[in-house]
Structure 1
Amino acid sequence: MPGPLFAANDRVELHTMEEEDHDDIGSDMNHPDIRVPGGGPTGPADGESVTEFVDWLRNEGNTAFVVCAEGGYVGLVTLRQEEPQGNVGTYGIWITPESQGRGYATAASELLFDWAFDQHGLHKVVATVFDFNEASMALMDSLGFTEEGVHREERFADGAFHDEHYFGLLAHEWR
């Protein structure tokens, strides 16, 4: 069962992460449709790796929420601030493969960005997407991100080097 409700709209709820969410998070971390496009490890994540990842997400400067819809877990949305005084957050999201295509990523992102810009005071949210991840590229476009550059063959995934596209969204663009 996810933790307390943080925010909700008519499509999804964002909840704090709890120990009970580790199995769902671990399952997604090991699913190739999540792991490969997200640039995750090349091999399976064991229980210890999942715990380390969740603990890292709970570090100061990181925000992570379990995305719930239809009464259960459907994914994870994160916002990391490596330099809090810079007012820039790095955004990430995954939706379980069986729940993709239902608008949950958009709905969860909207909740996160409303909080990040209006209550948390961020100036900018950034994201990176592999060139082959068409769904995430479309999500960036639908959320109003601007492509700011491409790092050619920056990351290795699924047996090859891939371009990594860099996107940014400014607070005044979101509003």
Structure 2
Amino acid sequence: MPGPVFAAGENVALHTIEEDDLEFIQRGRNHPDIRRPLTDVDPQNGEQIQEYFENGISGDGDGFGFLICRTDDEGSGADSSNDDEADPEPVGAIHIPWIRTKHGSGMLMYWVAPEHQGNGYVTEATRLVLDFAFEERRLAKVYAVVLESNVGSQRVLENLGFEREGVHRKETFVDGERRDNYRYGLLAEEWLDASGA
């Protein structure tokens, strides 16, 4: 069961990741439609996911991550802020797992289960994470690296104001061939000016 709500939007809420959520995370990280765009080529067994949880989520690092849960009418029907309602339905995860503290920059990563893609959940969850990253964690920049073939993710980033900053030529080996990666970046002042914060 997802942990408490950390931030809520109209259709999704960000919940803390708890040990009970690791099975969902493992299923997602091993699903071909998720792991290929994330460029995860190695299978993730339960022990590896547990290690990720202990070191990356519960550890002392500067990064952070959340479970994306639906709060819309199509989901569990729950108001995710009300403990008396049904459990929220997890649909994906979003992280800024690596933060270069001295420089104030962090790398954004996200995924949504294939059956929940195309509903705007990633866009809304990313807005919530960017608000937190820039307003509360005081990051100066958030960046993301996206496969050239992942047009959906490129659209999400561009719609949120990210700029394509460069191409990492033939950086990643996916589906039997070398592919380019695009690096996107968003500065704190760009986000805060656009959001009126």
Q: Same fold by TM (over 0.5)?
A: yes
Identity, in percent, stands at: 40
Per-residue CA deviation, residues 137-166 of structure 1 (Å, 9 max, x unaligned), is: 111111110000001000111221110100
Q: Which protein shows a greater Rg?
A: 2
The corresponding residue for 2:82 is none
What is the CA–CA distance in structure 2 between the aligned matches of 1:29 and 1:81, rounded to whole Å? 18
The corresponding residue for 1:134 is 151
Deviation at 1:53, TM superposition (A): 2.4
1:50 has 2:49 as partner: yes
1:35 has 2:52 as partner: no
The corresponding residue for 2:25 is 25
What is the CA–CA distance in structure 2 between the aligned matches of 1:97 and 1:110, rounded to whole Å? 20
Match of 2:103 among 36, 61, 86: 86
Please, which moves more after superposition, 96-105 or 72-81? 72-81
1:64 has 2:65 as partner: yes
Per-residue CA deviation, residues 64-121 of structure 1 (Å, 9 max, x unaligned), is: 0000002310000001334212110110110111100000000100000011101110
The corresponding residue for 1:124 is 141
What is the CA–CA distance in structure 2 between the aligned matches of 1:55 and 1:93, rounded to whole Å? 19
CA contact (8 A) 2:19 2:53 kept: no
Q: Which residue identity lines up with residue 46 of structure 2 in the other structure?
A: G
Q: Which residue identity lines up with residue 153 of structure 2 in the other structure?
A: S
What SS is found at the alignment partner of 2:37?
coil
Q: Which residue identity lines up with residue 116 of structure 2 in the other structure?
A: S
Deviation at 1:21, TM superposition (A): 0.5
What is the CA–CA distance in structure 1 between the aligned matches of 2:114 and 2:170, rounded to whole Å? 26
Give 5+ residue unaligned stretches, structure 1: none
What is the CA–CA distance in structure 2 between the aligned matches of 1:81 and 1:25, rounded to whole Å? 18
What SS is found at the alignment partner of 2:158?
helix
The corresponding residue for 1:113 is 130
Deviation at 1:6, TM superposition (A): 0.4
What SS is found at the alignment partner of 2:124?
helix
